[in-house]
Structure 1
């Protein structure tokens, strides 16, 4: 699968821009702030229906305008697929496949598998558990539509249960029967999510360890450890045990929405005990494991976006990524960089066709 053409209207800093891409390697070079990352984000947008860098959708509209449109022509399994993503202020975002709008944006997830490696991935280490949960859920959802739908249903029931807890507090009342209905539903969806996360990590962790070993030279032991209260008790029991706490807090304090993924280096948190180099290797290994996992599950090679990696990584780590794409089985690659000469020297070593766009 590869992206043949990209068209942007009023997207971030672009009023109107069109690109014709190479099937293998495409590089965007130019000074910082010129819009290189915005092009990668537009490609990400076509795959996931949202920005990787800015979750507030309207902020992706060019200043002074009231809408944006991104269109991409893809070659997938020797068929042309046209994807369009548009947003007008005050209206819902629309994603169309071959001119037909999706009823639900979630139906599009997984159709165009994609992995991005960016300096902002550091949030996976520095931010809270929510960021790491989103990573797990995002990888699973690209190849398992049922999982994504279960997750959406779980979050809907969770929101309703939280609203009920707030209602109880505001009105000095309590209805155990109504609450138990939500508990039953959360238990069903939550248990399914928990089991699928466990199954996913059983496959994913060995791939991740293999990638880290290749990047770091194999001198350190790393691990991903799933942290969930469902490992020691069922969700229904947890919800019943924590009802007094939930009533006081006015939200649901236990469940798969509180799970975390611990990033360990020699059995210690990499956030506290890992050097900058070790943390960078960890994150790249994580993303390359995502690439391999999705490729295997989706039976198609994901598009790979490399945002500003040459500025942020040493030569050894860059060369490992380049070795990955030098493999005959890799798909399409997009790179952003500030130095045209450096980029060209790197892509020449890959012995694949390429295009360089100077912005």
Structure 2
């Protein structure tokens, strides 16, 4: 079992310098809106995945006016049941993320830097359920790819390594295509040197994505059925232009179009995942409640698959769920907290009395962390 014992933040977003000790089970983070509750969840996410869930620019995580930020925490893995009354045992790992302004971030485990940041991903997995998760439905294909890639990257280090290499080669090939377009000259031997490994990685990543959806779909559908009481059928279709037997040939024939477009117009970076309800697009035909149930089922399926892959439960982060979910969905999550389906949970709420009443009525003991009070 995995849990986060302690956390110290220095110049992280709204925090100057603050330390926290956590319950091994349920942690309710309460405080007024704007007090820093979501930033605390984001720091846990950053500690696990070496990036913020809220912004793609690391520098935005440094407190305004500060020259650096540090997130320092201790994870522990134990074979024992979660109970704050039992002294913690099992292996502890101190993780430190430091970012000086204008420089690259450094991630250390037990004060030793990783050779590659990717080596950290998946060691201390987290699942985040947040108010903006329905962007997965409403936004473009990039958001859906990011979600699936994130799940796969925490599960499989080899997938993450291939994806990072693919993105590097894609950037390099796109830069080369832009140069060819500007100079009205194409060096096809040089272009092939970038194209061949990109094709090989596309085919490998394509197969892993296809296999993942096949294993993910029944778990996701089971969760959705529980949330919706079986009122409708949902599905996820992997939408890719890659046909393995023909892709290498089609990719090469497409090179002149790529030069004209100044970018690579074929590949797994154009994949999408089609969310459907009763065989219709969820984005157009799903109600707000159905869309919420869909994304919660996605995240719960992510939780289940990570638990199965890792052999222990990931940490669950629930941001502002009591304001965004109806009573039935809240009750389902509370049951999972109580019966041990989830391991360590962090949840935020702007109304402490509501949180305490809901947890008390469900028979759940929780550590209450009040943000914004000295």
1:1-359 map, 5 Å: 1-77=2-78, 78-231=90-243, 234-359=246-371
Shift of 1:326: 2.1
Q: CA deviation at 1:330?
A: 2.3
Task: Give the number of aligned pairs.
Answer: 359
Structure 1 residue 154 displacement after superposition: 1.1
Partner of 1:229: helix, strand, or coil?
Answer: coil
Shift of 1:130: 1.0
Question: Aligned-pair distance for 1:187?
Answer: 1.3
> Aligned partners of 1:234 and 1:114: how far apart in 2?
38
Which range is displaced more, 16-25 or 347-356?
347-356
RMSD of aligned residue pairs (Cα, Å):
1.2
CA displacement at 1:344 relative to structure 2: 1.2
CA displacement, residues 54-108 of structure 1 (integer Å, 9 cap, x when unaligned): 1111111111111111111111131111111111111100111000011211110
SS at match of 2:55: coil
CA gap 1:292/1:350 in 2 versus in 1, 3 angstroms: farther
SS in structure 2 opposite 1:279?
helix
* Distance in 1 separating the partners of 2:243 and 2:131: 33
Is 186-195 or 169-178 further displaced after alignment? 169-178
TM-score normalised by structure 1 residue count: 0.97
CA distance in 2, matches of 1:235, 1:155: 18
**Alpha carbons 2:217, 2:235 under 8 Å: kept:** yes
The structural deviation recorded for 1:323 is 2.0
Distance across 2 between alignment mates of 1:167 and 1:265? 44
Give 1:350 shift. Answer: 4.6
C-alpha displacement of 1:159 = 1.4
Structure 2 unmatched runs, 5+: 79-89
Structure 1 pair 149–234 and aligned structure 2 pair: CA distance change class (3 A): farther
Q: Give the alignment's TM-score, normalised by structure 2.
A: 0.93
User: For 1:11 and 1:215, how far apart are their aligned partners in 2?
Assistant: 36
CA contact (8 A) 1:7 1:17 kept: yes
Task: Tell which deviates more after alignment, 256-265 or 69-78.
Answer: 69-78
* Greater displacement, 34-43 / 176-185: 176-185
CA distance in 2: counterparts of 1:287 and 1:95, whole angstroms: 26
